[in-house]
Amino acid sequence: MENKVKCLVVDDEQLARDFVIEYLADFPQIEVVAQSGKASEAIQLIDSKKPDLLFLDVQMPGKDGFEVLEKINHEPFVIFCTAYDKYAIRAFENNAIDYLLKPLDKSRFDQAVSRAIKRIANNDKNFEKLIEEFTQQQIQSYTPNLFVQKKDKLINLPVQNIICLEASGDYTVISTQSDQFLSSSGISKLATRLDPAVFIRIHRSTIININRLQELEKHSNGTLSVVMENKKSYSVSRSYAKQIRDMIV
């Protein structure tokens, strides 16, 4: 490809835009011509800059990513970047060429960009094939890492290091052996990204990593509690006790 692929990054979170731009630095074929955190500004930039490739968030203040695509005249290739997998098929129906879930996995990101470069070069918009590929990817790759916030940084946390997750209102407290992190994602949402064979719900507000379980305590009233590697004890509610009891030999 003689000319560089012109790229525009749209996300209302500056940190998310920074990650995309940082990851794109590994692709000399791509030139980031602009970035935006506002949907209305993004519409103007897309039509004026005419990027070949657009990284686009779904949920933004004012207009969502799909509304942005409805308003533009120029039609770039689009890679959606979002925390929600429920929009995937709709994204492909709106001519996306890939769909990445936050927090972005570098290897998956590189795969998407490499694919995009090839399809841009060939002007390949076989969207039925893309939907089929994405559906196959979803059966199922549970995330090996979560990006968790610590002050003004995002920490790459291997999920194998998580001891437990505890609901705290609309937030989730994620505990490891040596630290705790507060996620703005609810516990049920996080559960969909974790392997249910490893991360077991023992209470509607508690999920444990079974590989970090140290002891089971049986109480005289018939209830159970678990003691984890961090020496903390968590009650097992009766409605979630069966899976734990089935592990007893």
Number of domains in the chain: 2
Looking at the fold, whether 151 and 233 belong to one and the same domain comes out as: yes
Looking at the fold, whether 94 and 161 belong to one and the same domain comes out as: no
103 preceded by cis ω (within 30°)?
yes
Point out the domain boundary residue: 137, 158, 190. 137
140 preceded by cis ω (within 30°)?
yes
Point out the domain boundary residue: 107, 137, 167. 137
Q: In terms of residue numbers, what domain contains 27?
A: 5-137
Looking at the fold, whether 169 and 89 belong to one and the same domain comes out as: no
Residue entry with tokens 């961090």: 230
Residue 20's pLDDT is 95
Looking at the fold, whether 150 and 54 belong to one and the same domain comes out as: no
pLDDT tens track of the chain, all 249 residues?
A: 458 999 999 999 999 999 999 999 999 999 999 999 999 999 999 999 999 999 999 888 778 888 898 899 998 999 988 887 666 666 665 667 788 888 888 988 999 999 899 888 877 554 444 444 544 554 456 788 888 887 777 788 999 999 999 999 888 999 999 999 998 888 988 888 898 889 999 998 999 999 999 999 888 887 899 999 999 999 999 888 887 877 766
Contact 44, 68 (CB under 8 A): no
Point out the domain boundary residue: 137, 171, 205. 137
Residue 94's pLDDT is 61
